[in-house]
Amino acid sequence: MLLLINSISLVQFKNYPQRNFSFSSRIVGISGPNGTGKTNLLDAIYYLCFTKSYFTRSDSFNALTGTNGFRIEGQLEHNGENYKAVCILRETGKKEFMLNGNAYERFSHHIGRFPCVFIAPDDVRMITEGSEERRRFIDAILSQLDPEYLQRLMNYNKLLLQRNSYLKSVSENRLKDTSLLEVYDEQLSNDGSYIFEKRKSFMDECLGLVTGFYGKISGAAENIELKYESQLHKLDFAELLKSTRDRDLYLQRTTAGIHKDDIQILLNNQPFRNIASQGQRKSLLFALKLSEFEMLRSHKGFAPILLLDDVFEKLDESRMHNLLSWVCLDNDGQIFITDTHQQRIKEHLETLGALYQLIEL
């Protein structure tokens, strides 16, 4: 059932004019000084799983400076079958994604086929910043597990844009007849209610995992709580939109709905964001990400690819060891780890006693 990536070849991708890598082991360490392309290599792997970058929204930023297109080709293996995944950004800006030579008409159909979890230092903004990052976290997981969720989420977002644009035109043109709003409300509640139910049951499942991992990593008896905040707990979607109709018309945007959802994180009953230390934030980040990993594993029946970027910088020796032994030994999926110090990563992997491959950039 194992999912493995055996090799990858990059053309004009970020800092790589042309380069091939082959991965011979389940555990792959990547070392090299700053700016040599460690993260870029991980991002290329992420591209093959998600058809897009983990970091930038615009594909054209990922082409080598001075060029306009790129190509990523990877050989993957799953269930004993081989797959060739190719992602091409043409010079015209058009992106193509092919699996075994067949081009996808919709990239969303590929997402979830090769599940993958990326942990990067910047992800800590998921805890410290606005609710959008946390919704993105939930959506990324659910989209990989449930294609219908992804489809409905995309529908919802399109409808939201249309509704907001309509709200603007109502006030600009002083329209009297707002019956089109009722249509949008119905369409939004149809997709929105599905998303809400999925998120709710997801959060119930997630809570236990996160507290478990947090305890394991921090080794401390801290009481972590996650609460799914949504206006839909109190009202159903149609009623909710009805109740905010006047305010929406006044503000010219949709002020209620699942696009306002959030996860509230509490540490010993106080907002985590306000009182947590750097170390606690990092422990929580790993707990959230490993829960994502675990959930994908249990729903898919096999371990996703795990991409760990620069994790050594962030945790002390013993926490690092706890984390590595869990991801490398208690889990049978493929892992990529980057570090600037070749010696340090080597020692860590050596003490685990598992087979590994070290790539030096």
Partner 1 sequence: MQFSSSLLEDAVNEFARLPGIGKKTALRLVLHLVKQDAALVQSFGETVLKMRQEIKFCQRCCNISDADVCSICSNSMRRHEMVCVVENIRDVIAIESTQQYNGTYHVLGGIISPLDGVGPDQLNIELLINRVQKENVQELIFALNPTIQGDTTIYYIQKKLQPHSINITTIARGIAFGGELEYADEMTLARSLQNRVPVERFVNY
Say whether residue 239 binds partner 1 (CB under 8 A): no
CA distance linking residue 216 with residue 214, whole number of Å: 5
CA 116-117-120 angle, to 5 degrees, is 140
Say whether residue 162 binds partner 1 (CB under 8 A): yes
For partner 1, the closer of residues 172 and 360 by Cβ is 172
Binding segment toward partner 1, per CB under 8 A, in 37-45, 157-165, 198-206, 276-284? 157-165
For partner 1, the closer of residues 166 and 326 by Cβ is 166
User: Cβ 183 to partner 1, closest distance in Å?
Assistant: 4
For partner 1, the closer of residues 137 and 237 by Cβ is 237
- Binding mask 93-112 toward partner 1 (x if CB under 8 A, else -) reads ------------xx--x---
CA distance linking residue 185 with residue 183, whole number of Å: 5
User: Cβ 99 to partner 1, closest distance in Å?
Assistant: 13
CA dist 269 to 222, 273, 328, Å?
10, 12, 33
For partner 1, the closer of residues 160 and 203 by Cβ is 160
- Write out the two tokens for 257: 């709905």
Radius of gyration of the chain (CA): 22
For partner 1, the closer of residues 45 and 170 by Cβ is 170
Element (H, E) at 119: strand 116-119
CA dist 278 to 125, 200, 308, Å?
12, 29, 18
User: Cβ 190 to partner 1, closest distance in Å?
Assistant: 10
Say whether residue 357 binds partner 1 (CB under 8 A): no
Count residues contacting partner 1 (CB under 8 A)?
26
Binding segment toward partner 1, per CB under 8 A, in 22-30, 39-47, 181-189, 352-360? 181-189
Say whether residue 92 binds partner 1 (CB under 8 A): no
In sequence order, the 6+-apart residues with CB closer than 8 A to the CB of 265 are: 127, 224, 225, 226, 227, 271, 272, 273, 284
Say whether residue 186 binds partner 1 (CB under 8 A): yes
CA distance linking residue 93 with residue 71, whole number of Å: 12
Say whether residue 166 binds partner 1 (CB under 8 A): yes
Task: Please say whether the beta carbons of 61 and 71 come within 8 A.
Answer: no
Q: Kindly give the pairing relationship between strand 3-13 and strand 70-78.
A: antiparallel
Say whether residue 147 binds partner 1 (CB under 8 A): yes
User: Cβ 310 to partner 1, closest distance in Å?
Assistant: 37
Closest CA to 210 of 146, 276, 274, 265: 265
For partner 1, the closer of residues 179 and 343 by Cβ is 179
CA distance linking residue 48 with residue 28, whole number of Å: 17
Say whether residue 179 binds partner 1 (CB under 8 A): yes
Binding site for partner 1 (CB under 8 A): 105-106, 109, 147-148, 151, 155, 158-159, 161-163, 165-166, 168-169, 173, 175, 177, 179-180, 182-184, 186-187
